[in-house]
Structure 1
Amino acid sequence: MQPSPLGPSSPLFIVLNAGSGSADAAEPREIIEQGCAAAGRRLRIFLVDERATVQALAREAVERARAVDGVVVAAGGDGTINTVARATLGSGLAFGVLPQGTFNYFSRAHGIPRDTAQALQVLLAEQPRPVQVGLVNDRLFLVNASMGLYAELLEERESYKVRFGRSRWVAFFAGLLTVMRGHRHWNLRIASHGVERDIRTTTLFVGNNPLQLLQVGIEHADAPENGQLAAITLKPMGVLAMPGLLVRGALGRLGSTDEVLSFPFESMTVKAGRLHPPRRVKVATDGEIAWAEMPLLFRVSPEPLWLVRPDIAPELEAAKQ
């Protein structure tokens, strides 16, 4: 269901998760309130803290917005954006983003600036446009979903961020330490396009963000722009070979190595192992870890998310050059 066109009277219902406490949210909240006041735009802010979870506030924001044909907005990192998008998908409401995270792949791929004031101007001036959503066992992902080594890397990276702060270098060295400790190999049976294949791999990564895929150098980076998802697996390799692969990804040359297999798809079923397969596995969706029942079904959502965004995403267009 396509939302109604937005106008100067369309109120904003903003779920704000800017950091670990209310002090971290003070600056973006002030920018948002001042910008909306200057534009004469009504708003309500739902502040995430120890008493109110993102999930509960996202549901409340959707209910309030539905009553007045408003816009549901996620102000936070990829995990917050994922949670609020999950509550908004299928509601018939427009969805907005004010990025507050470290990588912000979702907003960057859709032309939404990192700067809160600039992102707010996009939200106040633009109209909702359809954006592809990925699903794994009906759990939404906007950027990527994964199992195996990559999901493990994300889980352990969070503990390093708590100790050393959030930055790209912390993320890189956390990943390096994780891959150097050794890793499990998975025997997977993957069915897609009517064909089954057996794959032995350390990880299965499914991408729904063309900017991220372009930056690591994957061959099928344009899959999300063509109504598809991109699957990436790594062939079995020794521990000493893994740091080199991590560096290749950082340099945007991951697709040039023989150890990487990638292919596009609309729907893919994944089963694990032939003997004593696990009933469930850990799956990461946009950086958030949760248990998922096997087999896994990855697919493109039949309905899009209606994101308030500009027609052109400059960083994505530059990455294609």
Structure 2
Amino acid sequence: MDHEALSAEVEKHHSWVEALKNEMARVLVGQAELVDRLVIGLLTNGHILLEGVPGLAKTLAIKSLAGCMKADFARLQFTPDLLPADLLGTMIYSPESGEFSAKLGPVFSNLILADEINRAPAKVQSALLEAMQERQVTIGDTTYPLPDPFLVLATQNPIDQEGTYTLPEAQLDRFLVKVTVDYPSKQEELTILDRMATSGKVAATKQVVDTETVSKSRDIVNQIYIDPAVREYIVELVHNTRNPSGVDPSLVPLIRAGASPRATINLALAAKARAFTQGRAFVTPQDVKDLAPDVLRHRILPSYEAEAEEISTDTIVERILQKTIVP
């Protein structure tokens, strides 16, 4: 498809994005970046991790997104006593037939809200890992495909909160982006007070998009153009997380391990999706710069020295972005 035809397709099919954002804004106050990342996750079929202290509307944002879509939705409250079977399903024995049959778990939905995902132990995280990466689940001797789309939208409290487990690096790498949810501004909090300080129910969102529309948009996103110079910029950014000596030698002792090639793929995919949401058929370097912190922050392992000096991965990514030449 040539550029003009692709631009026309983007213009024709991206209007639902604004409708979805407007509908979510009826429930959410502020959090424009969070909503933008949720839409990008939809368009790339990528899982999203939201991190922030309790009470910042992480769960509400995901439930609002599900309410805007004609799709199956399941909420899973992760707890220390959760078992893999509670998530995936199990084999049930029937005395009448003398046979076992599979009872599929709540993971067989289009949108999964994994609430407080870092409160579940390692065996549950391992069970979720196959579902996230392979988009299939094995129960007994049989493998069952998960529905399309299948997105895990997970929330977690900061690791220093009591009663949490550190997510394994392999699982963190499966998340397209990790979004840090911050406190609202004073004005936003006044709006929240006016809107939410009631014992009644919070306003519900209306369905404005279906899975077929999202799937069609995803096909268009895959065709969005990335200039060779922008592609090299993406690769250079990720490469500099592994070998920072070329851009900032002071970062060398602060990084234990850099981002994997999956970060390169996901940064390109997310940048394409962002271009689509803004009605463009091409990726700009600014798309890459804006999304790099969310794609890279959970894929860089800081060294013990960085942790001792309280230098976050966000600071490391920011310094790499400042020193990497933009095309």
**TM-score by shorter chain over 0.5:** no
TM-score (norm 1): 0.26
More strand per residue: 1
Q: Which has the higher helix share?
A: 2
TM-score, length of structure 2 as denominator length: 0.26
- Pick the structure with greater CA Rg: 2
